[in-house]
Structure 1
C-alpha cells in the first residue's frame, strides 16, 4: 500500500480454457488495469502463465516488490487447469510474503459486466463444465443470489430466466436458453478479478487459504485397494 492508499495487485485465473493474468491498482473501490493478458489455450496453462506474468509486470512497470497482494480465480473450473493458477498464485505470494485473495471466477465475470454496465440489474454467468454440463451463477445488482453450481443446461434454464444480461461461454449461454451478447466477457478479466477482491481488501481481511471450487470430484481418482481376505 502506498501513501495515497493505492494497492498494486497481480491477478491470475486459469478456471477456463483461457490463461488470464495482469496487474491492476486498487484505490478505495476503484480498479485500474495497468497491463493484462488473456490467451486461449487449455493445453498450455502451466507453460504460458509464468511467461505472461513476466510480461504484464514488465509492461505495467511494477516490480515484484511493489506488489501488495495476489488475486486468483478459484473456479469453478476443471481440476487440471484450475490447480495451475492456484498453485502459481500461492507460490508467488509465499515467495514475496504477500496475501493471496481467492475469488469465484464467475464473480469476476459478473464484476466486469457491472463495471461496463452499472445500470444492469440481473446477470447470469454461464461457463463450460464439460460432461454436457455448465457452471452457473445469478446476480442481482452486483450481488450473487444463486450459485455457483454445476448442472445440466436444462436444469439451469429456469434458474436464470429473465436476466438482463448473460455472460460467459456463448455456446453454453445458448444451451440454457439465453441470448448471447458479444459485448460481454466470455472469461474472467483482470478488472473483474481485482474488483471481486475489493470488499475483502478494503475490509482489511486476512485471506483464508486458497480453496479450489471444483463442485465435483476430479475425473482421475485413486484406485481403491482390494479388500484383504481375513484368515480363518
Structure 2
C-alpha cells in the first residue's frame, strides 16, 4: 500500500512510502523537498501532484496520509496540514499527524547516531529553537519545547537549529553534531518514522498543529472614543 507523507514545518516536502498492509518493509517510492522555507503554499500542491503522476498513481491508490504537525511557524505549518486534510477528505483516506521533529530523530538513528540521549532542534526564529529530547533508539523522552539555545540540555544536538547557535549551545554544555548542522525535517523521513510506529502497534496523534506560541495576529479591540 502507499502512504503519502507531508511536512512543512521548515521546508516544504512530500513523499510516497510503499509498505505492506502490516506497515512492514517500508521504503520511499518517491519524494521531493525544497530548500526554501517561505514558499510552502506555492510549491506543495504542484509537488504532490507531480509525485503522484510520476508514479502513475491516482487518489484512490493512496491508502493513508501522514502530516507533520510541527512545531513550526504558523503560515508554513498551516499550508501542510490544510493540504493533508483536504486530500484526505477528497480521497476518503485515513489521516494522521506526527511531530515533525520525529523525522530528524529518525535520520539520526538511521545514521548510527549516539549511544546515549540526544536532542533534535530546528529554527524557531526570534533567536529561539524548537527542540525535543530522544533516547538513543529514537524514543521521545521530552518535548517539544521552544526556548533560547542556552536552555537546551547538555547533550549532542542534531538539526539546522544546532547549526545556527553552536557557540550558545557550547556555553550550555551542549554540542552541535557534525554533519547534521543544516538538516531539516523531511516528509520522507517523517513517513518512515510514522510507518515504523504503526508497524509497532502504536497510534499516531491527530493533526492538531504544535505551534508552541501564541499567534502574533491579534483581534482588534473596541475603538477608543474620540470625545
TM-score bucket of the superposed structures, by smaller chain: 0.7 to 0.9
Match of 2:144 among 145, 148, 166: 148
Query: How many residue pairs get matched?
Result: 216
**Which segment is superposed worse, 115-124 or 190-199?**
115-124
TM normalised by structure 1 equals 0.83
Whole-angstrom distance in 2 between the partners of 1:47 and 1:144: 32
Contact 1:173 1:180 in 2 (8 A): no
Listed as ranges, the gaps of 5+ residues in structure 2 are none
Whole-angstrom distance in 2 between the partners of 1:185 and 1:196: 20
Match of 1:99 among 94, 100, 106: 94
Counterpart residue number, 1:222: 219
* Secondary structure in structure 1 of the residue aligned to 2:26: strand
Counterpart residue number, 1:197: 194
Distance of aligned partners of 1:144 and 1:128 in 2 relative to their CA distance in 1, 3 Å threshold: same
Contact 1:121 1:142 in 2 (8 A): no
Q: Which runs of 4+ in 1 moved over 6 A?
A: none
Match of 2:18 among 9, 14, 25: 25
Counterpart residue number, 1:14: 8
* Secondary structure in structure 1 of the residue aligned to 2:87: helix
Once the two structures are superposed, the pairs formed by residues 42-81 of structure 1 within 5 Å of their partners are 42-81=37-76
Contact 1:126 1:173 in 2 (8 A): no
Output the aligned Cα RMSD: 2.4
Whole-angstrom distance in 2 between the partners of 1:100 and 1:77: 19
Offset, 1:99: 0.9
Distance of aligned partners of 1:133 and 1:184 in 2 relative to their CA distance in 1, 3 Å threshold: closer
Offset, 1:226: 5.1
Offset, 1:43: 2.7
TM normalised by structure 2 equals 0.85
Distance of aligned partners of 1:195 and 1:66 in 2 relative to their CA distance in 1, 3 Å threshold: same
* Secondary structure in structure 1 of the residue aligned to 2:217: coil
Whole-angstrom distance in 1 between the partners of 2:213 and 2:165: 21
Listed as ranges, the gaps of 5+ residues in structure 1 are 1-6
The C-alpha deviation readout for 1:155-209, integer Å capped at 9, x for no partner, is: 11xx1x233x62333433524232242257711123321133225534385x664
Offset, 1:19: 0.6
